[in-house]
Amino acid sequence: MKRQLAVAAAVLMLSASGAADAKGCLKGAAVGGVAGHVMGHHAVAGAVVGCAIGHHHAKKEERRAAKAQPQRSR
């Protein structure tokens, strides 16, 4: 019963949330999950950390690309 309630709550939370900006997260989570699994069966922790690092790198790259583009004045 508790498991069904937890699954229902998770589905409700996921359906209620808006679209997420996951740039870099998927690639980082995949690499982190594999690395975590190889390092000692910590695939979920590796995926979470990999997602955070991948997202950070994507945002950093996005800022660098925006800075490199010349801005037009009106």
Residues 38-47: b if buried by 16+ CB within 10 A, e if exposed: eeeebbeebb
Tens digits of per-residue pLDDT, 29-39? 899 999 999 99
Closest CA to 28 of 1, 2, 57: 57
pLDDT of residue 70: 72
Question: Which pTM was predicted?
Answer: 0.61
pLDDT computed for residue 25 by the predictor: 86
Percent of the chain with pLDDT over 70: 68
